[in-house]
Amino acid sequence: MATLLSISSWVARGHVGNAAIRFPLMRRGIDVVALPTVILAHHPGHARDVARAEMPDILAMGQDILGSPSPHPVDGVLAGYVALAPQAVAIAGLVAEARAYREGVPMLLDPIVGDNGQLYVDPLVVDEIRANLVPMADIATPNVTELVALTAPKRIRKAPSLDEAEIVKLARKLPVPTVVVTSAPASGEGRSANIVVTEDIAVRIETPTVELHVHGTGDLLAGLVLGEIVGGQDIVPAVAMASAIVHDVLAVTARAGRDELAVVAAQKLIASPKTTAEVAML
């Protein structure tokens, strides 16, 4: 059984950050060690003055997770929400340590910094992610705004208007072997798309849109993609499977009228999704 180290936020109520990653991956047979970068009562989208507990020393905790009282290697590392700029250096150190225990451990970077042409973190966090985590990543899963923040920050307000060709061009500027651009332009109305970009290919992966706004879909997608990769899948089928599962979880959430991802109610579909994502070369 594969084990992932997921470094991201934790919410006591709801399913974002590690709380959107851990149960779904376990339901798919992957163990998850969840290291929180911050602990929140709930997602700040519900109320900005949410109660929170900071986690300033994640390096020491992560080192204990990996090495105490004996080595506990992991098969992949997911770097998600960075709550404090210095955490980027700590996360980079933990990725290096994981690779010391097990050579070639893949790292997926989900740079959770903004959306809709705006940042919602301190710009210093973006700078530290760019300097310390981007160079270590094998896969990155930014949305369009986050991609622009990392590659062309002066254009960030124009991110929502970028077309497919511009997005692919920017993805190839990011020094990461594989970039999965989430919430990308789709082929038509009623479609939701992610674009997989490498040096050699650009592939659009689409599912029907579920008309619902909840938080945590990017976290869920990132975790599922890395889970598929450590399970031996190539990137395109990994993103196709992850996209299908996210769609099915959203469909269950919409039917239930929930304001949080209904991952428990959707657990059978997480294990075996009904939807098949459509794949098209660009």
Question: What pLDDT is stored for residue 43 in this prediction?
Answer: 83
Going by C-beta distance under 8 Å and a sequence separation of 6 or more, which residues neighbour residue 6? Answer: 18, 21, 22, 32, 33, 34, 35, 77, 78, 80, 223
Can you tell me the distance from the alpha carbon of 93 to that of 63, in angstroms, rounded to the nearest whole number?
9
Q: Rounded distance, CA 120 to CA 106, Å?
A: 27
Assess contact for 219 and 8: CB atoms under 8 A: yes
In terms of phi and psi (left: phi > 0; alpha: psi -120 to 50; beta: otherwise), the region of 125 is alpha
207 Cα distance to chain centroid? 18
CA–CA separation, 110 and 210 (whole Å): 22
Mapping DSSP to helix (H, G, I), strand (E, B) and coil, where does residue 194 land?
A: strand
Instruction: Tell how far CA 211 is from the center of its chain.
Output: 21
Q: Say which residue the tokens 């997911």 belong to.
A: 78
Q: Which residue's entry shows tokens 């250096």?
A: 89
Q: What pLDDT, in 10s, does the model give residues 220-274?
A: 999 999 999 999 999 999 999 999 999 999 999 999 999 999 999 999 999 999 9
3-state secondary structure of 43: coil
User: Is residue 169 helix, strand or coil?
Assistant: helix
Question: Which residues in the chain come in under a pLDDT of 70?
Answer: none
- Residue 61 buriedness (CB in 10 A; 0-12 / 13-18 / 19+): middle
Q: Distances from the Cα of 219 to the Cαs of 9, 39, 154, in angstroms? A: 10, 16, 26
| Angle between helix 58-67 and 87-101 (nearest 10) | 10
Can you give the pLDDT at residue 47?
73
Q: Are 225 and 243 in contact (CB under 8 A)?
A: no
Distance, CA of 202 to CA of 51 (rounded, Å)? 42
Give me the pLDDT at residue 44, please.
82
Give pLDDT, residue 177: 98
Q: Judge whether 234 and 17 are in contact, CB under 8 Å.
A: no
